[in-house]
Amino acid sequence: MSEPGEGKHGVQSIEIGMQVLRALAGGDRAMMLKDIAAASGMPASKAHRYLVSLIRAGMVEQDRETSLYDLGPLALHVGLAAIDRLDRVQLGLNAIAELRDRVNETTALSVWSDNGPIIVRDERPRRAITVNVVTGTALDVLSSASGQIFGAYLPREQISHLIEAEMKDGRAPADCKSWPAIEAMFERIRQTGISTVSGYHLVPGVEAIGAPVFNAADNITLTMLVVGIQGMFDMSAEGPVVRELKQAANQLSERLGSARRI
């Protein structure tokens, strides 16, 4: 005999229980029953019944002293298992392909290595004149859009030796010849969420915009790039390319479990 609400459309009680879990997951901290009910869009008495079942299942726990509810140990286990199964690079490759279709410019994905950022894939637009991004090459921190993004969000001890080498070898841009200037640049990037590089010295006439992608720990894990030809590429802060890039980076961060946005 079928349970009430069960059939080809699913089990309604499970869907309602997920509303309660989403309310808890969306809160910044443990919550009161009335707040959970309001966020779930149901009466407190109904929310309480579902919370009792979720507690028994280990998805929710209640503090005996405060009576506040929070996500339980099973919810944490499920979340960590889901994160472990995420392939950040594969998700990133899908994201830059979709971004390429929206902006009709070359897009790319980079990861961090001991030698700096490395382009792992690019997607070219469907038009005659395109920019060829070389994959597998380690880029400088200070003069590439991906390097600047990683530099802005990684701990200084992880990047300082590369930056010192670039300054010593004369590879630092003219406006990045001192640590105060570099830190000011990184702060601007953190404020705007993007890095813009024009006339990159290894590829004259090329412009690039980079944006960070964050993981479940809210740390930078990837950089998404849009690359174009100087004079034919809209790099304005309010333009469609920057808007689409930010949206794509935020969506990928969310997919990877991060609450951090640019």
How far is Cα 254 from Cα 222, in angstroms, rounded to an integer? 13
pLDDT of residue 233: 84
**Residue at token pair 């229980």:** 17
Q: What is the mean pLDDT of residues 211-233?
A: 91
Residues 6+ apart with CB under 8 A from 12: 4, 5, 6
Tell me: pLDDT of 81 over 90: no
Residues 6+ apart with CB under 8 A from 164: none
pLDDT of residue 171: 86
pLDDT of residue 158: 92
Of residues 17, 30, 99, the one with CA closest to residue 63 = 30
**Residue at token pair 């004259």:** 204
What would the pLDDT profile of 50-64 be if each residue is shown by its tens digit?
A: 999 999 999 999 998
How far is Cα 112 from Cα 136, in angstroms, rounded to an integer? 11
Q: Which domains, and CATH codes, for the chain?
A: 12-84 (1.10.10.10), 88-255 (3.30.450.40)
pLDDT of residue 68: 93
What would the pLDDT profile of 161-179 be if each residue is shown by its tens digit?
A: 999 999 998 888 888 889 9
